[in-house]
């Protein structure tokens, strides 16, 4: 392992419920809705762009550019309100893992979130400068499970994907990293081990606090 790559939502911070709520608010403005089960089985892991495209298609709707722009603004405002209120918290143990890993090898973030959503949270955690590379939905044309984000991360790190390891919490994320050529471990922050296992991560840890750098190196 020459580099370690973290997903963001659901791995570094417990933000998936906040994204889901913000997406629902924005979708309802367009007369669209989805259940929590729909989100968990169908939409989690998408960036906002692919989420809206898929949701609209599922409802047999075609949206205008103005409607898409309105959706993006509504979702952004709803989520950033939660961020400013300090309600997006890091998972226990993640700051220690980030700090320890950054002392020994390059680390990166590969996320389907937008950069403006990630930056203030990292700043509040005090770990922004630990990451050599941060790749977000703003940097790639397609979200996970497409491997573009992980391929972009590897290219910016100047490390062959075969020598990189990713930490993910969804089947979409696991597939994205595996298809890019990474090794992948998963945490059960968003799904159970039984739900993650079909995506074939190398190992599943209960939480990020259970991961050590030595354990990752020994995979």
Give the separation between CA 22 and CA 26, rounded to whole angstroms: 6
Domain 3-14+88-217 class, CATH top level: alpha beta
**Cα Rg of the chain (Å, integer):** 17
Helix (H, G, I), strand (E, B) or coil at 186: strand
For residue range 163-189, list pLDDT tens digits in order.
999 999 999 999 999 999 999 999 999
Kindly report the length of the chain. 219
Q: 16-84 — its CATH code?
A: 1.10.150
Please give the residue that has the higher pLDDT: either 44 or 7.
7
* Helix, strand, coil percentages in the chain from 3-state DSSP, rounded to 5: 55, 10, 35
Tell me the pTM: 0.87
For residue range 89-108, list pLDDT tens digits in order.
899 999 999 999 999 999 99
* Sign of the dihedral through C-alpha 36, 40, 45, 50: negative
Pinpoint the residues of the chain covered by CATH 1.10.150. 16-84
Pinpoint the residues of the chain covered by CATH 3.40.50.1000. 3-14+88-217
Give the separation between CA 103 and CA 201, rounded to whole angstroms: 25
For residue range 103-162, list pLDDT tens digits in order.
999 999 999 999 999 999 999 899 999 999 999 999 999 889 999 999 999 999 999 999
pLDDT tier, 208 (very low <50, low <70, confident <90, very high otherwise): very high
Give Cα separations from 158 to 107, 136, 151, 214 (angstroms).
12, 17, 10, 23
For residue range 36-62, list pLDDT tens digits in order.
999 888 888 788 888 999 999 999 999
For residue range 8-19, list pLDDT tens digits in order.
999 999 888 888
Give the separation between CA 4 and CA 106, rounded to whole angstroms: 7
């Amino acid at each position: 392992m020459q580099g370690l790559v973290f997903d963001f939502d659901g791995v570094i911070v417990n933000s998936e419920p906040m994204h889901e709520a913000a997406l629902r608010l924005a979708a309802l403005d367009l007369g669209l809705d989805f259940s929590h089960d729909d989100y968990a089985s169908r939409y989690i892991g998408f960036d906002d762009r692919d989420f809206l495209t898929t949701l609209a298609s599922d409802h047999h709707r075609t949206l205008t550019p103005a409607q898409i722009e309105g959706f993006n603004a509504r979702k952004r405002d709803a989520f950033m309100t939660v961020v400013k209120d300090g309600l997006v918290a890091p998972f226990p143990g993640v700051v220690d893992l980030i700090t320890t890993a950054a002392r020994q090898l390059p680390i990166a973030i590969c996320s389907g979130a937008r950069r403006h959503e990630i930056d203030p949270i990292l700043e509040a955690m005090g770990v922004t400068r630990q990451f050599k590379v941060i790749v977000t939905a703003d940097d790639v044309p397609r979200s996970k499970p497409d491997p573009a984000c992980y391929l972009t991360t590897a290219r910016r790190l100047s490390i062959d994907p075969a020598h990189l390891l990713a930490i993910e919490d969804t089947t979409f994320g696991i597939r994205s990293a595996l298809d890019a050529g990474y090794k992948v471990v998963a945490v059960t922050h968003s799904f159970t081990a039984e739900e993650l296992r079909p995506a074939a991560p190398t190992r599943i840890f209960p939480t990020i606090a259970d991961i050590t750098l030595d354990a990752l190196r020994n995979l």
